[in-house]
Chain A
Amino acid sequence: MSALNKIMYVDDDPDMLHIVALGLKMGHFTVEVCNSGHDALQQVTSFQPDLVMLDMLMPGMTGTDTLRELHKVPGFEALPAIFLTAKVNKQQLETYKNLGAIGVINKPLNPLKLAGVVRELWDKRMSRT
């Protein structure tokens, strides 16, 4: 099973960037925060994340736009993702799945549980591949 060590988190909300990063660090993950899709595209090659977590609603490039662009970067065509969003319906879940998402975490979230939730999603997904 692939190891999960490095997570890139993309969100335009600086408050959420801080608290999510902190929550992930509790799980001993190495975290890179990006405040936009463009920022994520600039950082991905140098940071080499195992997983990207993306807020959905961002100005300019949305979460899905960002993931599509990340998948065009050589070496990241299959980069797994988790979306963070307030509300999602069945059709949206299907879209996210087709884009390579391994799960969705609803906001608001519990930052103290976040690392465990991410680990759970990763383990469940990886056990199926």
Chain B
Amino acid sequence: MSKKILVIEDEENLGKLIVAFLEKNGFKVQCLSQGVEDIEVIRKEQPDLILTDLLLPGLHGFDICKNVKEDPELGETPLIIMTAVYKNAIHKLEAKRLGVKDFVEKPLDFDDLLRKIEGCIGPAETGQKQSAPPPDTIPEDMVEISGDDEETRKIPIIKSNKALNDSIQREFNSLKENYADKLPEKVIALEKTWENILNGTDVSQHLVLLRRKVHSLTGSGETFGFKEISDKAREMELLLDMIIAEGEHTIPNRKNQMNGLLDDLRHHPVVSTELEMMRLGKTF
């Protein structure tokens, strides 16, 4: 008998995609697209696993997790969270505290999703061979190194002579200052491109352009020491990916979210200070 997964996802198209994918892999699937107001609706489904979004109508995903874990009938049911925005360490810690088994980021990597589901409850049918690819293995002779993680930190900074090091350090500082100076222009450019999209001007071209600018910020922000800029840009990139995947007609639904993220960028201390200085410069 096939194992049953309950999917709680209010994005209709995404919900359908997830259901189709999981059914293709042999699971029985029920999707709740209106969110959950009462845990009773989950009890009725008796799922073997719950896959839930976080930003939902009704109960927030974290509240669903808490209620499930506290329920005598559902308490042992594994939970996997999927989210586009609740991705930083604090959110993951909160998820763990609530007893969540695993976390998948949007946009979804479906192979990764299947692997994590099978990691919790095994394949769809007992006795069936696990269909998900093995955990992330990098080809033997291929090396991936994160730009700045624990492994990288063990790599020593190459020692040049002191004079060269000092000179390079000064140049780094200067580059960082230049980058900070240019941040307001970058934010203004993002806002203008988004405005063109909202006005319906060459929407698909502007979406691609906006995504490229935002992607650039995800990489450069933290490289230059502005991690919050990269983090915010990453959220914007995911939102744009969702808009591009789901279609331009979803832009009105995403407008407030994107406006909020642009506002956050604008209020970053470095950006807002520089914007204020620009304004004062114009006043004088």
Q: Which residues of A contact B (CB under 8 A)?
A: 12-13, 15-16, 18-19, 22, 25-28, 55, 57, 59, 84, 86, 88-90, 93-94, 96-97, 101-117, 119-121, 124-125, 128
Contact = CB atoms under 8 A, between A and B. Distances in A.
A103 B144 contact: yes
Top-3 shortest CB links A-B: A109-B147, A107-B219, A108-B222
B133 A90 contact: yes
B168 A25 contact: yes
Contacts of A19: 172, 175, 220, 223-224
Contact of A113 (B152, B221, B234): B152
Interface of B: 109, 111-112, 133, 136-139, 141-148, 152-153, 155-158, 160, 164-165, 168, 171-172, 175, 178-179, 182, 212, 215-216, 218-224, 227, 230, 234
Chain B interface mostly: helix
Contacts of B137: 90
A51 to B, nearest CB: 14
B40 to A, nearest CB: 38
Contacts of A13: 216, 219-220
Contacts of B157: 26, 112-113, 116
A117 B215 contact: no
Contacts of A55: 219
B238 to A, nearest CB: 10
A84 B148 CA distance: 13
Contact of B139 (A15, A18, A59, A97): A97
B156 to A, nearest CB: 6
Contact of B221 (A57, A102, A108): A108
8 contacts: A26-B158, A57-B212, A103-B144, A106-B147, A108-B147, A108-B220, A111-B223, A121-B145
Given A26-B157, A93-B138, A115-B158, A121 B143 contact: yes
A104 B144 contact: yes
Contacts of A121: 143, 145
Contacts of B165: 26
A124 B143 contact: yes
A93 B147 contact: no
A78 B139 CA distance: 19
B164 to A, nearest CB: 8
B111 to A, nearest CB: 8
A109 B147 CA distance: 4
Nearest to B141: A128
Nearest to B149: A106
Nearest to A110: B148
Contacts of B168: 22, 25-26
Contacts of B147: 84, 105-110, 113-114, 117
A25 B169 CA distance: 12
Contacts of A108: 147-148, 218-223, 227, 230
Contacts of A103: 142-145
Contact of A109 (B133, B153, B223): B223
Contacts of B112: 89
Given A15-B179, A19-B223, A86-B219, A106 B143 contact: no
